[in-house]
Structure 1
Amino acid sequence: MVSSPEHVILNANLIPGGTIGSPWRRASQPGEHFVGIDHYVDVARAAERGFLDAVFLADSPNLQSKDWNSPSRLLDPLVAQAVISAHTEHIGLIATATTSYNDPYNLARQFASLSAVSRGRAGWNFVVTGGDAAARNYSLSEALPKQARYARAAEFLDVVSALWDSWTPDALHADKTTGSYLDSTKISAIDHVGATFRVAGPLKAPPLTDGRPILIQAGASTHGVELGARYADAVYSAHSTAESALTRRQELRDQAASAGRDPNSIKLLPGLIVVLADTETTALQREKELTDLIPDEVQAYNLGARLGVDAGELELDAPFPWHLVPPDEAAPGARGQLSVFLEYVRTQALDTRGAARLLAAGSGHAKIVGSPEQVADFIEAWFRSGSCDGFNVMMDELPSGLDTFVDHVVPLLQRRGLFRTEYRSTTLRGHYGL
């Protein structure tokens, strides 16, 4: 059994409008509201009211198929989190940025700046982006091979870390007596020369007086797990069972120890889809109503995009088309996001319509549909078993579902001694106990 933190970690995953189906279609606000900053701020304030650790903003560098039929994160996540920081005081601010199509100096400066304006509440969810569609937005005809992408990512993280360390926290001393503003002896070049990057440094950014931004990794492949174990403070992953999460958590700790790190310094935070109502029956009906908001043709389109096939090749009322799935993704035990989804389709013996509705209702993440007591029981069971350190909570509707979670689930967790009753830290690093 691996050790657990004192309290469960809870992030609010900001999926515009919510996770299940098409909740934006039944909201009182106009559809465009859900891609605007007011919606983001509302969610962050709800999360902060419940003393949650962070608001998590995922991102991709190109429009995707799902973006045509539902609101997506159109705002740049760093810009959005900077605005959110001005409307909140304690909640952590996690923004996603890819190592595949950015420059380490620019990103190091941007996240150091977010940390400065939020007073230590910044986190970087580093992702490695595949797929040729994104590459074509960055003057490339195709994505780098996987091994090259991950080699670039490792060097990228080394450069960013070195740049963040190029100033000591007390380098800015602003001595009015002598007129010296920066202490040059505490700011150093990094002179990095690597396979991909040549960066002199030092970084032009305020010193990180509240510590580095935390690093979060998202990715289930073998390369991704290795990268997370080497660099990440926390790992975001998809698991449909506590046993699967426990296996991943132990794997991460073992690999972190092999890399010379404290194995307890890395946190596992699976996604948790929550559909919450007074009773389980009401919650199940709520889930069905939200899923039904996606028309059949959109469900087929979204499933086709997930499988990488034309929706015209799919017949909803037919057996699942395993012959259309690449063999490496369909193999039992494969670890990519698509593979987790397919494993659930296989174990539940779903047909095509069932798979499409599964995707509409949240794919292969852990899910709890029920009353506040059932949701609290689920969180407690996974946490106390050592399967995870917390969750990225993915509410069915936002912000209303998060308000209900804060009002009815958080108090139960607090009474059970599993969650804070007030913020005890001013930084995200402090919230996570790092």
Structure 2
Amino acid sequence: MNRLSNVLAAALLAGAVSLTAAESPAPKKKGPAPVKGEVSGGLPPDARRLALGDAAPEFKLLGIDGRQHTLADYKAAKLLMVVFLSNHCPYSHAAETRLIPLAQEFKSKGLEVVAINPNSPDGIRIDELGYSKYNDSYEEMKLYAKDAGFTFPYLYDGDHQVAAKAYGCLATPHVFLFDQERKLRYVGRVDDSRFEDLKSVTSHDARNAVVELLAGKPVTTAKTIVMGCSTKWNSKRDDVAKADEKWKAEPVALDLIDAAGVAALAKNSSNRLRLINVWATWCAPCVAEFPELVSLSRRVGNRDFEMVTISMDDAKMQPQVKRFLEQQHAVPSARLKKLLAAEGRGALNYLYTGASSDALVQALDPEWPGPLPHTILVAPGGKVVFRHNGAVDPEVLKRKVIELLGPYYTPEEKR
């Protein structure tokens, strides 16, 4: 099966989405004016906001092709679209499905598209990466652009964010369209949809601006709101550290479970993708892979996903098992805790009490050959969509989970 994104609904990444309106720059002495309607994100004090008619700021940035790119490299183009995109943002992912064909359609007519990743990898919380296999590092930009099929340059600005500040990048995606004299003629979104489905688009704003400018006409709608994932500024690294500390302070719950309880988990009556990992403290591969499982759980913690762990330790080892789980910070996200409470559930970590291993195998996964660790992914309704016996490759598992959850928001998802 390709993806469960139409089944597995997901909430927006906590604190990741910004709904903003582009504004003219404020007087220099006072700094940038506040942005109307701004929910999150915003600009640092040393950033500016380009006004319509402003000249395109210079830049010198490293592209994924390994060379430095400057504004002058694109002086021959009739129109230049500087668009800020990112590896991790589902709004950006959706917009790119329209942006790539737009760039191809109008390239022969004089449009040059240059994409810039404004984000600092140090400013992104792990739970803001739940819609992508990649973070926003330069090296992973190469992988993401290849997967996405980028046909235009993709430049990295994450270390110093000079271009992001010069252009006033509020979020990804954020479009700046310049005429042949490199004066700003359109600023805002790619279009009005946050979804992948082209039918969900009702206003092709960036495309309309390109068509009008190439026809020698003024842009009818020259400014639109900017909808997407807020720019991850270097200054947010303290927030990332605070989020990590808050996670580590969360209490860990551990319950006992028998074969009947395991069978109920395997049926997965929830609407979430469920990862079930069977392990033990005496199992070296189990202990070695556990941190990566927790990291994955945190990464997709704001999506419809849950990780269940089942320890095969002796019941008298319960204190040691809980201590290990506490050391690993194996706790659900705040969002998932609320959902579990509404369902009358508490712990996602269990200690198996049955004497028979056969009963556990039959209850969980009859195809499990027996050794530890054993990991399965169970779709809503109980179908096992992935299984692995032995230590699982964390990259393979991450890719599978993202594939099943999908890289885009869908109309079914809750805001």
- Which band: TM-score by shorter chain? under 0.3
Larger relative strand fraction: 2
What TM-score, normalized to structure 2?
0.24
Which has the larger Rg? 2
What TM-score, normalized to structure 1?
0.24
Larger relative helix fraction: 1
